[in-house]
Amino acid sequence: MRCPYCGTIEDKVVESRTLANGEAVRRRRECNRCGRRFTSYERIEEKQFMVIKRDHRREPFDRHKIEKGVQRALEKRPVSQMSIERLVNEIEDSAALLGKINHEIETAVIGDLVLEKLGALDQVAYIRFASVYRHFEDLNEFVKEIQKLGYT
């Protein structure tokens, strides 16, 4: 595995963890040259996992899109990068399990998974994500969503 910091291919595996019920392996690696650590993932190459968009188009599942949305919602919030990575992994694992039968999942299901996980992690990020995901048009929609969280 090529080190993303110095480019060498000399590294050692420090930790391995099974994800998605044994269908993926996350490996923490340490570069033998520069000593920095990085993460790699191994997955079985299967049929492309597809996302069904609101307009019924289908596109390949893209973990990066989820990560980008979560990062944006958590911008300037006191949440570690490790917590964000764990949250995105949980969302990806849940989505893979929910869409396993026909290799498809609707964007609404993914959005709800993100909201569920963000709500447990950071309520400000939850409201940020919900306002974009649910297309809030006015202040009343914000108030209703905040009331759902138990605030009045």
What tens digit of pLDDT does each residue of 9-31 get?
A: 999 999 999 887 777 899 999 99
Closest Cα to residue 49, out of 105, 8, 111, 131? 105
Distance CA 91, CA 66 (A): 8
Q: 64-107: per-residue pLDDT in tens? A: 999 999 999 999 999 999 999 999 999 998 998 888 888 899 99
* Cβ 123 vs Cβ 73: under 8 Å: no
pLDDT computed for residue 149 by the predictor:
72
Residues 79 and 123 placed together within one structural domain of the fold = yes
Residues 70 and 137 placed together within one structural domain of the fold = yes
Does residue 3 belong to any structural domain of this protein?
no
Does residue 2 belong to any structural domain of this protein?
no
Backbone CA torsion sign across 58, 62, 67, 68: negative
The answer for residues whose C-beta is within 8 angstroms of residue 61's C-beta and 6 or more apart is: 48, 49, 50, 51, 95, 105
Residues 15 and 52 placed together within one structural domain of the fold = no
Domain that holds residue 36: 8-45
Residue with tokens 């919030």: 77
